[in-house]
Chains A and B, each alone.
Chain A
Amino acid sequence: MYEQLLGGLSLVLMPENLLWAALGVTIGIILGSIPGLTDNMGIVLLLPFTFYLSPIAGIALLMGLSKGGNFGGSIPAILFNIPGTPQAMVTCIDGYPLTQQGKSGKALKQALYSSALADACSDLLLIFLAAPVAIIALKIGPPEYTSIIVFSLVVISVATSAYPLRGAVAVILGLLLGTVGTDPVFGTPRLTFGLIELSDGFHIMPMVVGMLAFSEVLIQLEQEFISRRERKSAGKETAEVAMVSGQDDPENHKLSWPEFKSTLPAIFRSTGIGSAVGIIPGIGTTVGSYLSYIMAKQWSKTPEKFGKGALEGVAAAEAGNNAVNGPNLIPLVTLGIPGNLAAALIMGAFMMKGLVPGPMFMQTNGEMLYALFIVLFLSNLFTLGIGYFFIRHARNVTAIPKSYLFSGIIVFSVIGSYVSYASIFDVYAMLAFAVLGWALTKFKINLPSVIVAFFLGPMLETKLRQSLSISGNDVSVFFTKPISLGFLILTVVAVVFLLKRRKTLVA
């Protein structure tokens, strides 16, 4: 292994490869920070381009892009309460209150350092523990998946909603939206209302962009019009104002070492949770950051600050979503099974070079694999450096008048929902989801819960029905498999614990 590691090192240190990784990180941060566009979209669009690069350079570009995008998404989440990528929606909860308190610089720095640190730790896990972790990943069959998803859904819905009934509505609605499309077992169309565009279900991009970006634009537009009316009736100037006005204290934008140090326990715990989520293909970054956030709140000494601008909250959300990435690549490099969309696209890039990720890859192309691991690790430094440059200037964006900002976000939402499948239907769907998101927010229903349930719902049904077809419709399969039983017990324990804590918190 160490020979391969050294061989890999000599491959990597060619400046060309590092340059492409840095370029990837830069593009990733830009795409991630524009609401409506995501890093995955960047990977799809740049895939043809990697054909002209050497394998390492091409894949360094794509992996850098994915890393950059993961951090980039937190920039608009913190500044405007509009997540740039779906996984950044948890960052909004504490990031935006910090901006409202005039501490956007502090929040952005916290997000950047937590992202890079957690990502680097999870990459080390990938590099040194890929083989044993892959064996764990294979142990997760349909029954185990079912229990893990039930655990995630129940914990998220119980812990995140201030109103339990509304939390239930959010989760059930998300699951219902997820049933649209094709039946996962029989392959027959379901709830498509005769529209062929729906036969694959609602696509993720229009749903996420509509619910998270566009609906927030609608809400902020309404607030803007309300405040204009008030200013008008008070006889003041009615012209629009920028997001953040004047009185900026530079001290508020600095992140001191003691402040950062106090968030370290939360970062490392979230890294652990995020990595655990990442090991299981398909569960995804959003769940990783959500669970991390919930646990950070439970373990925090000051849980009452969460949701009102706690640095720990930003740290947990960002560490949790970035830590998913390293382990998510483990099934790809060891077995050739992509853990998420980005990994699937990167696998495509490998194959176009005649390289097949999988069991034989470690033996035949060991040096190249380690070269990639090193690039991956070094990319975190690029994220740190380039990210720092970005956030120094990102605050200036808040000075742009809202009308310009919002029209830009709308146009990018249209592009973002269109390009994945080149479908104008998806753009209409995005608009519909925006209206839905606006109405749900009015009723105080938590949108992230809807989205997480929508992500996990189809997988839950697929795995549940696969388990039942394997066991011959015997429900006991969920209780006889140790991992599955363990998660079901954990679900009950977590619910009891969370409900108890809720009482003590309120009292």
Chain B
Amino acid sequence: MNDDLKLGSVVLAFCAFLWFYAIPYHIKGALPALLPKSLVIAMMIPCVLFFYKGIEAAEHGVSASAFRIIPGATLKALGVIPLMLVYIFLIDLVGFYVITGVFIFIFLLYFEAKPSLSLYIYPVALPLIVYLLIGRVLHFPLPDGILF
């Protein structure tokens, strides 16, 4: 499958989601739904053209795709996402400063940073600086859970 076909399918699925679920069930009244509905219809124009171009290209045997998933690289980069989910969840639960230090340390390890002294200093120093500036000088409360 080439890029145009992939993109066309994604856009089509998104439009279907909006048209058959989101707009009918999550908008009350005809006028508020007017703009979203017309946008979905407008979105169908590039969508159809993507399919047209994609099928034409496929028939000519062109199937270059920029959207490649490279196992060792793409997935490893996206591994940051679950790490972030846990991080954000714990911010609310444990408190911003402590968990941020832990996060930075884990991130550096995940990233295979060269082992050095700064590997230990940085996770402590960054939250500390943020605390001094935002917490002490500006008195803005970042989330404090059971710890800090």
Answer yes or no: are A and B bound together in one complex.
Answer: yes
Q: Hey, which bits of chain A sit against chain B, CB under 8 A?
A: 45-46, 48-49, 165-166, 168-169, 172-173, 175-176, 179, 183, 185-186, 188-194, 217-219, 221-226, 228-229, 238-240, 401-404, 406-408, 410-411, 414-415, 418-419, 422, 424, 427-428, 431, 435, 438, 442-444, 461, 465
A176 touches B18 (CB 8 A): yes
> Are A191 and B43 in contact, CB atoms less than 8 angstroms apart?
no
Chain B residues contacting A442 (CB-CB under 8 Å) are: 66-67
Indicate with 1 or 0, residue by residue over B129-145, a CB within 8 angstroms of chain A CB atoms: 01000100011111100
Check A414–B29 contact: CB distance below 8 A: no
Q: Which residues of A contact B43 (CB under 8 A)?
A: 169, 172-173, 176
CB-nearest residue of chain B to A188:
B28
B residues near A435, Cβ cutoff 8 Å: 81
Contact partner of A407 (CB less than 8 A), chosen from B3, B88, B108, is B108
- Which residues of the partner chain A approach B73 to less than 8 Å between Cβ atoms? 222-223, 225-226, 228-229
Contact indicator A226/B70 (Cβ below 8 Å): yes
Q: Is the interface of A mostly helix, strand, loop or mixed?
A: helix
Cα A414 to Cα B91 in complex, Å, equals 10
Q: Does A188 lie within 8 Å of B85, measured CB to CB?
A: no
Which B residues lie at the A interface, using CB under 8 A? Answer: 3, 6-7, 10-11, 18, 22-23, 26-29, 31-33, 35-36, 39-40, 42-43, 45-46, 49-50, 53, 66-67, 70, 72-74, 76-78, 80-81, 84-85, 87-88, 91-92, 100, 103-104, 107-108, 111-114, 118, 122, 126-127, 130, 134, 138-143
**Can you list 18 A-B contacts with CB-CB less than 8 angstroms, sorted by A residue number?**
A168-B42, A169-B11, A175-B35, A179-B35, A190-B28, A193-B26, A221-B111, A222-B76, A222-B78, A225-B76, A402-B111, A406-B111, A407-B126, A410-B80, A410-B84, A419-B134, A424-B143, A461-B35
B111: which A residues are within 8 A, CB to CB? 221, 240, 402-403, 406-407
The CA-CA distance from A217 to B77 in the complex, in Å, is: 9
Q: Which of A179, A189, A239, A406 has the most CB of B within 10 A?
A: A179
Closest 8 CB pairs of A and B: A225-B73, A403-B111, A222-B77, A183-B32, A221-B77, A403-B113, A226-B73, A165-B46
Are B7 and A443 touching (Cβ within 8 A)?
yes
In the bound complex, what is the Cα–Cα distance between A186 and B29 (angstroms)? Answer: 9
A404 and B122 CA atoms in complex are apart in Å by 8
CB neighbours of B114 from chain A (8 A): 239-240, 401
Is there contact, CB below 8 Å, between B26 and A172? no
Besides A166-B7, A218-B77, 6 more A-B contacts (Cβ < 8 Å) are A45-B138, A165-B50, A225-B72, A225-B77, A404-B113, A418-B142
**Cα(A419)–Cα(B139), bound, Å:** 12
Q: How far is the CB of A62 from chain B (nearest CB, A)?
A: 14
Contacting residues, chain A, for B72 (C-beta < 8 A): 225, 229
The docked-state distance in angstroms from the alpha carbon of A175 to that of B142 is 32
A169 in contact with B46 (CB, 8 Å): yes
Smallest distance from the beta carbon of A443 to chain B beta carbons, Å? 5
A503 to B136, CA, bound (A): 58
In the complex the two chains form, is B32's CB within 8 Å of A427's CB?
Answer: no
On chain A, the residues within 8 Å of B143 by CB distance are 418, 424
Chain A residues with CB under 8 A of B92: 424
Instruction: Knowing A222-B77, A403-B108, A410-B84 are in contact, say whether A415-B3 is a contact too (CB < 8 A).
Output: no
- Which A residues touch B11, using CB under 8 A? 169
With A226-B73, A407-B108 in contact, do A172 and B88 touch (Cβ < 8 Å)?
no
CA distance A418 to B59 in the complex (A): 49
Select the residue from A173, A183, A217, A461 with max chain B CB neighbours within 10 A: A183
Determine the chain A residues whose CB is within 8 A of the CB of B81 once the complex forms.
431, 435
Q: In this complex, what residue of A is CB-closest to B78?
A: A218
State whether A172 and B66 are in contact (beta carbons under 8 Å apart), knowing that A191-B22, A403-B113, A424-B88 are contacts in the complex: no
> Bound state CA distance, A404 and B105, in angstroms?
10
What residues of chain B lie closer than 8 Å to A166, measured between beta carbons?
Answer: 7, 46
B130 touches A411 (CB 8 A): yes
Using known A-B contacts A179-B35, A401-B114, A431-B81, determine if residue A415 contacts B91 with beta carbons closer than 8 Å: no
**Bound state CA distance, A15 and B77, in angstroms?**
51
Contact of B103 among A45, A176, A411, A424 (CB under 8 A): A411
Chain B residues lying within 8 Å of A461, measured Cβ to Cβ, are 35
One of B70, B91, B104 near A427 (C-beta < 8 A): B91
Residue of B nearest to A465 (CB): B31
Which residues of the partner chain A approach B27 to less than 8 Å between Cβ atoms? 190-191
